Amino acid sequence: MTQQSTSTKAANDLHWLSVAEKGSVISIALVVWLATMCGRPPARWLMKAVALWYTLLHRRVRQASREFGERLHGRPRTLREVYRHVLCFAEATLDRLWLVQGRGDLFTVTRTGHDYLVQLAAAQSGAILLSAHLGSTAAMSIGNYDEKLKIRVVGYFRNAKIINAALARLNPRAAAQVVHIEPGQASAVLAMRDRIERGEILAIAADRAGLNERVVHADFLGKPAPFPSGPFLLAAMLGCPVYFVCGVFRAPNHYDLYCEPFAEQVILPRKDRQRALQNYVDRYAARTEHFARLAPDNWFNFYGFWQP
């Protein structure tokens, strides 16, 4: 194996798409069964054991959490802090089982900027919601607001197909609100334009780039990190309003939901396209960093985030 191919393999191993969905059909089915039969409290106790298992046995997860902690606090996280980080992710993921079934009564929620979404729905105006893998945007469905506001989650979900299949069985109608797109799929742009014209709101995570996808580097916690240019190029082509959203999980059962204007329209002039794109990505990275500092354990990117 050549040095170049070795380095390429090492880089790909650090990429989020190479982090396979950890968990078998049986184990996920067990969690779903326990949650359905016994309720949320016993299931949360099971997730404590699952989080401990991940923390102790998956070196890459520990590395990612410690690297994030070092960028945030100037030191790597302790094993206890890594466990708390993984547990936050596990519990927020578990909550999707109830959120997809419309059990918003199990949670309390505060909403900041929700009026922006209400105004979009009243005007039947489409928009893009830029999110990140930080907290849970699924919590926006509390009160069935995802249906009332016509929110559709857009992304590449092949690396999480087991859990998504389990959620689809719980509520097929909720599964219809998830739009899976393949990277580089040209027809996806036309499909997204049709949805915007129908007044749908498209939620897109803009913090993870696919393999070989074009990226723009922006400062994140004091170090340049690669962000995908695709969501911003899509927003420019669709010409619709863009908002930044985030759903911060607070144990045991509370979510702080945020929505704030990002751009009335993403404009990328032909003569200065790259600089304009850089400005938008810089702004997105800054808002993502703000909420990552606000709720560090809600940062759910367990891979080499700063790797090229």
Predicted pLDDT at 150? 87
How high is the mean pLDDT of the chain?
Answer: 84
Residue 219: pLDDT over 70: yes
Helix %, strand %, coil % of the chain (to 5) = 55, 20, 25
Give the residue extent of every domain in the chain. 3-298
Predicted pLDDT at 212? 72
CA 230-70-298 angle, to 5 degrees, is 55
Specify which of 51-65, 85-99, 280-294 reaches the highest per-range mean pLDDT: 280-294
Structure-model confidence comparison of residues 216 and 4, the more confident one = 216
Question: Does the CA dihedral 134-243-193-183 come out positive or negative?
Answer: negative
CA dihedral 103, 108, 112, 115 (to 10 degrees): 50
Q: Provide the 8-state DSSP code for 302.
A: -
CA distances from 267 to 184, 241, 273 (A): 21, 11, 9
Pick the range with the lowest mean pLDDT from 1-5, 235-239, 285-289: 1-5
Rounded to an integer, the average pLDDT of 134-141 is: 90
User: pLDDT (tens digit, 9 = 90+) per residue, 250-290?
Assistant: 999 999 999 999 999 999 999 999 999 999 999 999 999 99
Predicted pLDDT at 276? 97
**Residue/partner pairs of 274-283 with CB below 8 Å, 24 or more apart:** 277/216, 277/229, 277/232, 277/233, 278/216, 278/218, 280/232, 281/216, 281/218, 281/227, 281/229, 281/232, 282/218, 282/219
How far apart are the C-alpha atoms of 282 and 304, rounded to whole Å? 20
Query: What pLDDT band is residue 179 in, cutting at 50, 70 and 90?
Result: low
Query: What pLDDT band is residue 170 in, cutting at 50, 70 and 90?
Result: low
Residue 14: pLDDT over 60: no
Residue 184: pLDDT over 70: no
Query: What pLDDT band is residue 9 in, cutting at 50, 70 and 90?
Result: very low
Predicted pLDDT at 64? 95
Query: What pLDDT band is residue 165 in, cutting at 50, 70 and 90?
Result: low
How far apart are the C-alpha atoms of 306 and 14, rounded to whole Å? 10
Query: What pLDDT band is residue 20 in, cutting at 50, 70 and 90?
Result: very low
Q: Which residues pair with 243 in a beta bridge?
A: 129, 261
Helix (H) or strand (E) holding 155: strand 151-155
Predicted pLDDT at 245? 97
Q: Which of 88, 119, 35 is nearest to 255 (CA)?
A: 88
Predicted pLDDT at 197? 94
Specify which of 135-149, 188-202, 229-243 reaches the highest per-range mean pLDDT: 229-243
Residues 6 or more apart from 252 whose CB is under 8 A from it?
44, 91
Q: How many CB atoms lie within 10 A of CB 114?
A: 16
Predicted pLDDT at 30? 66
Specify which of 12-26, 113-127, 173-187 reaches the highest per-range mean pLDDT: 113-127
Rounded to an integer, the average pLDDT of 95-121 is: 90
How far apart are the C-alpha atoms of 235 and 240, rounded to whole Å? 7
Predicted pLDDT at 48? 92
Q: Which residues pair with 223 in a beta bridge?
A: 220
DSSP string, 21-35: --S-HHHHHHHHHHH
Predicted pLDDT at 261? 98
* Cis? peptide before 252, omega within 30° of 0: yes
Structure-model confidence comparison of residues 272 and 23, the more confident one = 272
Query: What pLDDT band is residue 10 in, cutting at 50, 70 and 90?
Result: very low
Kindly state the percentage of the chain with pLDDT values over 70. Answer: 78
